[in-house]
């Protein structure tokens, strides 16, 4: 009987311990669930804040893109207006040049009718041309002196001699190989034989023409070429200075 009572008491104690353990597990589970809920709420709040920040950033970017688009539209409008005005100015300038040239032609062709002592343009053309050529030559000499004083002339002349030596070497190689000679190998009369523009376009005088002939030793039929200075309006500053240096060296 005593053994039975002890066994019942042991079972009761074990049952109580099991109940306490179950209660502990349940409390731990509730605590874990509570922590999980807090973490989920925190993550949700962070995600919501991040989405809000991304949305605000997108709104700012959209606003900035709209401003850029409006600015681009304004720039295109201003550019179109500038293009139209520039075209109108060019047309007006061309018309003005044509009218001015027509007036000059009219005056030069009819001036001698005003008085018998006034010569015709054909009679004084040579003197005027020589006068302009003297001005150009004086400007070239002044520029050459300034370049020599600044030390730039020696550098330019050294580069020119180096280019000429390379050109002569290349020409001799082509002639020996039976190829077509370049313009550098042409025998020009008193001028530098090259396809380099002269300085006449730089100073605004008449275009410089050089007549050349192909040497009879080449395998190309005899013919003549004319090297004409490039139009002033189509020249860059680099081309003008280069042509000026070549023309000064020529003189």
Helix (H, G, I), strand (E, B) or coil at 212: strand
Q: Classify residue 55: in a domain, yes or no.
A: yes
What is the pLDDT, as a whole number, of residue 228?
A: 38
The pLDDT score that the predictor gives to residue 223 is 38
Q: What is the pLDDT of residue 213?
A: 39
> Which is nearest to 183 in space by CA: 228, 225, 240?
225
123 lies in a domain?
no
97 and 151, same domain (yes or no): no
Count of domains for the chain = 2
Residue 29 CA neighbour count, 13 Å, CB half: 6
Please tell me whether residues 9 and 71 are part of one structural domain. yes
Whether 7 maps to a domain, the answer reads yes
Same domain, 13 and 99: yes
Answer whether 181's CB lies under 8 Å from 171's CB.
Answer: yes
Looking at 163-208, which runs of residues are DSSP E strands? 187-188
Task: Clarify whether residues 64 and 16 are in a common domain.
Answer: yes
Looking at 107, 123, 158, the residue that finishes a domain is 107
User: Do 191 and 229 contact (CB within 8 A), yes or no?
Assistant: no
40 with 93, same domain: the answer is yes
Predicted local distance difference test score (pLDDT) of residue 68: 94
Domain that holds residue 146: 133-250
Average pLDDT per block of 10 residues along the chain, 251 residues long: 76 82 89 91 92 93 94 92 90 89 85 83 87 92 87 79 80 62 41 38 38 39 38 49 48 45
**127 part of a folded domain:** no
Same domain, 89 and 139: no
Q: Is residue 124 part of a domain?
A: no
User: Quick one: CA torsion of 214, 220, 224, 226, rounded to 10 degrees?
Assistant: -80
């Amino acid at each position: 009987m005593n053994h039975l009572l002890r066994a019942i008491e042991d079972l009761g104690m074990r049952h109580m311990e099991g109940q306490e353990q179950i209660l502990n597990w349940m409390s731990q589970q509730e605590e874990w669930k509570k922590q999980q809920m807090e973490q989920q709420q925190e993550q949700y709040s962070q995600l919501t804040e991040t989405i809000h920040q991304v949305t605000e950033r997108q709104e700012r970017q959209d606003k900035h893109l709209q401003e850029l688009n409006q600015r681009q539209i304004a720039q295109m409008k201003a550019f179109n207006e500038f293009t139209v005005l520039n075209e109108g100015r060019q047309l007006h300038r061309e018309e003005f040049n044509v009218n001015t040239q027509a007036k000059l032609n009219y005056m030069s062709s009819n001036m001698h009718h005003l008085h018998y002592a006034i010569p015709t343009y054909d009679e004084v053309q040579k003197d005027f041309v020589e006068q302009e050529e003297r001005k150009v030559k004086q400007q070239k000499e002044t520029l050459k002196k300034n370049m020599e004083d600044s030390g730039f002339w020696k550098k330019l002349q050294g580069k020119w001699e180096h280019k000429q030596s390379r050109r002569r070497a290349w020409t001799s190689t082509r002639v020996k190989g039976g190829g077509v000679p370049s313009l550098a190998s042409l025998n020009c009369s008193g001028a530098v034989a090259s396809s380099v523009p002269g300085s006449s376009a730089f100073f605004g005088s008449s275009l410089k023409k050089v007549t050349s002939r192909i040497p009879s030793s080449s395998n190309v039929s005899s013919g003549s070429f004319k090297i004409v200075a490039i139009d002033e309006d189509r020249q860059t500053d680099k081309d003008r200075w280069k042509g000026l240096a070549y023309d000064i060296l020529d003189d």
